[in-house]
Amino acid sequence: MCGIIGYIGKRKVVPVLIDGLKRMEYRGYDSAGLAYIRDGEIVAVKSMGKIARLEQQLQDVDAESHIGVAHTRWATHGEPNEKNAHPHLDCTGRIAVVHNGIVENYRALRKYLQKQGHRFTTETDTEVIAHLIEEYYKKDIPFIDALTSALLQIEGTYGLAILNADEPNKLYAARHGSPVIIGKGEKENFVASDAAAIIRYTNRVIYLNEGEVAEVTDDGFEIFTLRKDRVKPEVQKLTMTLQELEKGGYPHFMLKEIFEQPATVRNSFRGRLNLEMGTARLNGLKSHLDVIEKLKRIVITACGTSWHAALIGEYLIEELARIPVEVEYASEFRYRSPVLDDGTAVFVISQSGETADTLAALREAHNQGVSVFGIVNVVGSTIARETDAGVYIHAGPEIGVASTKAFTSQITVLALTALMLGRRRGIVSTERGYELASHLAKIPEKIKWILDSQTANIKKIAEKYHKKNNALFLGRGINFPVALEGALKLKEISYIHAEGYPAAEMKHGPIALIDENMPVFFIAIDDLMYKKVVSNIEEVRSRKGKVIAIATLGNEEIRRYADDVVYIPETDYLLSPLLTVIPMQLFAYYTAVLRGCSIDQPRNLAKSVTVE
Ligand code: G6P
């Protein structure tokens, strides 16, 4: 979602803010803006569209200012135009606010403030925050008191960075429901929604907790609760590197992240596989294993691509550990009073660890008194911190909005979890465990094989079909969720309408859509259902649909049925999603490139959705 950054210190502020915004652009890119203090006044500059436009607007500005805040926006309230871009100012123009989140009671607050004489210039919910602080900021009232009084009136979520022209040596930050960190430097300090924005300058950070406010100067900071109790900060060290945030010679982050998968999958299982015992060990869950292995039911909840990984987790855990699993969209789970009885635990899966719906589902489960375990990528994120225990997937920073490497790492961790539980529950034998573990250990080189030998082929297929308006993705069993993911990837970045379906369900509806203009992707690997999938392929062909088959290397017969074939190496059926998804990611990527789409920042989407 929106990204925020604030800076105070020895450097000129504008380049620091622009650099920080660029590193967070994947969070939102409808509009951007910044504000700094010069000669006791606030100067605000805003622009529609991407950060590059804002940068251009500022190119002749050499502002001698060392304090400022900035924002990259994903619109929630009000059109994504220049006026509605952050920062938002109060009536006097002396308070500037950048905000990530939603003020839910903004209509009531706006009405009240208008009655008090405040003039609003935008349609945003955020503007009420600036005016509300102004309302409380009267003679003899310290700004921090006005700020906390205002925040106590706000319902909804916020991560905030705030400037007050009367205090050119202080930056304010606050958090409720949207992440905020303070970066601690030498004679300089940062406020940001995202570690990526500040890692270039410091790796020492403090995560603000819910309902905390910070007063930041160039050589220190103080943290309070909204009731003004002082909080002792805990400084943590970030592990991410700047290099991980660069494109490293690739034209897009998405392509880089697709090609990183041999390494990222390996990172997800490194040190966690025990080949000899045919099992896995996950230290993050260690102290809860006695409970987890006796569970009667697991509910996995997530959004988007993480939800697709959860569906694959359902197959893995049920097959290997024989524990019933249900998968729920986090946004639905939280509002439908789920039955979470004794013997049930919830797993949440999230790349960012900040998705508002997933976080709310986690809290709902906690309210009902059940344990919640996390499978998360971003270290130190809110979900990682609020779960009872969990496993990091170690995929490294994922910048492309369309998730790729996080997906395969999530599946890897789910496979490890299922294997470990299956072994502990005595369902998986040592031999079967060994077999699975050794197959998993070989997955990175098999992904590499696909990337090396099939990319040119997939590019050609994309050339053939990139002008189509629709596509179908079909798979069965554990590859049905991969079909969903293939369709989602294509929709997200190429804006082609695509549907994922269980192959056999096609005849109950989508078959009506098939004609010579419909490309249909089939996951047709050599598994127990191969013959059935071939029958489904025939059904499509006889209606003139175009068939693209993802098949097991060595299967020449399939060429008779398919217009195009992409091969993947053989592996254990349960691990096949780690391979079958790779051609789909590449197909979506090259199709979007050919259609001239914005690959890393597709329209209307955001990497981390911190609003409900
Ligand atoms: C957004 C992103 C998706 C992601 C989903 C869940 O919609 O665009 O790529 O899968 O959120 O995000 P999470 O960080 O919780 O995995």
Asked if the structure places residue 280 within a domain, the reply is yes
Which candidate in 2, 170, 184, 489 is catalytic? Answer: 2
Does residue 353 share a domain with residue 332? yes
Distance 117 CA to ligand 1 centre (A): 41
Taking residue 210's Cβ as centre, other Cβ atoms within 10 Å add up to 13
Q: Which residue has the tokens 């966690």?
A: 272
What is the reported pLDDT for 92? 96
Token pair 């910070």 in the structure block, residue: 214
Q: How far is the CA of 607 from the centre of ligand 1 (A)?
A: 6
Contact 558, 535 (CB under 8 A): no
Q: Does the global pTM surpass 0.85?
A: no
CA distance 355 to 178: 9
Phi, psi of 485 (to 5 degrees): -70, -40
C-alpha span between 73 and 65 (Å, rounded): 23
d(CA 292, CA 298): 9
Could you tell me the distance, in angstroms and rounded to a whole number, from the CA of residue 25 to the centre of ligand 1? 15
- Ligand 1 center–CA 609 separation, angstroms: 7
| 565 and 585 fall within a common domain | yes
Q: Evaluate whether residue 437 is within a structural domain.
A: no
* Alpha carbons 142 and 149: distance in angstroms, whole number: 11
352, 393, 490, 603: which to mutate for ligand 1, most atoms within 8 A of CB? 352
Per-residue pLDDT of 73-117, as tens digits, reads 877 676 777 888 899 999 999 999 999 988 999 999 999 999 999
Are residues 134 and 193 both part of a single domain?
Answer: yes
| 77 shares its domain with 212 | yes
Active site residue 2: yes
- Residue 610: per-residue pLDDT: 66
Helix, strand or coil, per DSSP, at residue 149: helix
Query: For residue 536, what pLDDT is reported?
Result: 92
- Tell me the residue ranges of DSSP E strands in 489-560: 497-502, 519-524, 546-552
Ligand 1 pocket, 609 CB below 6 A?
Answer: yes
Measuring from atom 2 of ligand 1, which residue has the nearest CA? Answer: 607
* Cα separation values, 270 from 47, 249, 303, 394, 486, Å: 45, 26, 26, 9, 27
Query: How many other C-beta atoms are found inside a 10 Å radius of the C-beta of residue 367?
Result: 10
Both 53 and 7 in one domain: the answer is yes
Pairing of strands 519-524, 470-475: parallel
For ligand 1, whether the C-beta of 305 sits within 6 Å is yes
Residue 27 CB: number of other CB atoms within 10 A?
29
Q: For residue 604, is it within any domain?
A: no
Same domain for 411 and 550, yes or no, is no
| Residue where a domain stops, chosen among 400, 428, 456 | 428
User: For residue 487, which of 513, 450, 453 has the smallest C-alpha distance?
Assistant: 513
On whether residue 607 sits in a domain, the answer given is no
Split into its structural domains, the chain has a count of 3
Q: Are residues 414 and 460 in the same domain?
A: no
CA distances (Å), 513 to each of 284, 472, 520, in order?
47, 9, 11
Is the distance from CB of 27 to CB of 51 less than 8 angstroms?
no
Q: Best mutation site among 254, 301, 609, 612 for ligand 1, i.e. most ligand atoms within 8 A of its Cβ?
A: 609
605 domain-assigned:
no
DSSP secondary structure letter of residue 512: G
Q: Is the CB of 387 under 6 A from ligand 1?
A: no
Pairing outcome for strands 546-552 and 519-524: parallel
Please provide residue 571's backbone torsions phi and psi, each rounded to the nearest 5 degrees: -155, 180
Q: Is the distance from the beta carbon of residue 304 to the nearest atom of ligand 1 less than 6 Å? A: yes
- Domain housing 330: 247-428
Residues of the chain whose pLDDT is less than 70? 1, 28, 76, 78, 608-612
87 cis-preceded (ω within 30 degrees of 0) = yes
Beta carbon of 306 within 6 Å of any ligand 1 atom: yes
Residue 228 CA to chain centroid, in angstroms? Answer: 33
- The total number of residues shown for the chain amounts to 612
- Of 193, 220, 238, the residue that ends a domain is 238
DSSP assignment string, 117-129: T----SS-STHHH
Predicted pLDDT at 28: 67
> Domain with 193 in it: what CATH number?
3.60.20.10
Q: Of the candidates 428, 460, 479, which is a domain's last residue?
A: 428
Spatial contact of 327 and 428, defined as CB atoms under 8 Å apart? no
CA of 351 to the centre of ligand 1 (A): 7
User: Is the Cβ–Cβ distance between 348 and 387 less than 8 Å?
Assistant: yes
Query: Whose alpha carbon is nearest atom 3 of ligand 1?
Result: 304
As a whole number of angstroms, the distance between CA 204 and CA 216 comes to 15
**Pair (231, 259) in one structural domain:** no
Nearest-CA residue for atom 5 of ligand 1: 304
359 within domain boundaries: yes
Those residues with Cβ within 8 angstroms of residue 246's Cβ, 6 or more apart along the chain or in another chain: none
What is the tally of helices (H) and strands (E) in the chain?
17, 27
Residue 189 sits in the same domain as residue 310:
no
d(CA 335, CA 192): 31
Q: Does residue 537 sit within a domain?
A: yes
- Sole residue written with tokens 């990175």: 444
Residue 349 C-alpha to ligand 1 middle, in angstroms? 10
* Residue 352 near ligand 1, beta carbon < 6 Å: yes
Q: Ligand 1 within 6 A of 608 CB?
A: yes
Cα within 13 Å of Cα(409), Cβ side: 31
Backbone angles phi, psi at 454, to 5 degrees: -110, -10
Q: Give 140 Cα–ligand 1 centroid separation in angstroms.
A: 46
257 in the same domain as 229 = no
CA 581 and chain centroid, separation: 18
Residue 115 lies in a domain: yes
Shared-domain flag, residues 159 and 199: yes
Q: Is the CB of 401 under 6 A from ligand 1?
A: yes
What is the Cα–Cα distance from 371 to 291, expressed in whole angstroms? 9
CATH number of residue 523's parent domain: 3.40.50.10490
Assess whether 153 and 302 both reside in one domain: no
- Gap between the Cα atoms of 216 and 198, Å rounded: 15
Q: What is the pLDDT of residue 612?
A: 67
CB of 101 closer than 6 angstroms to any ligand 1 atom: no
Decide: 303 in ligand 1 pocket, CB within 6 A.
yes
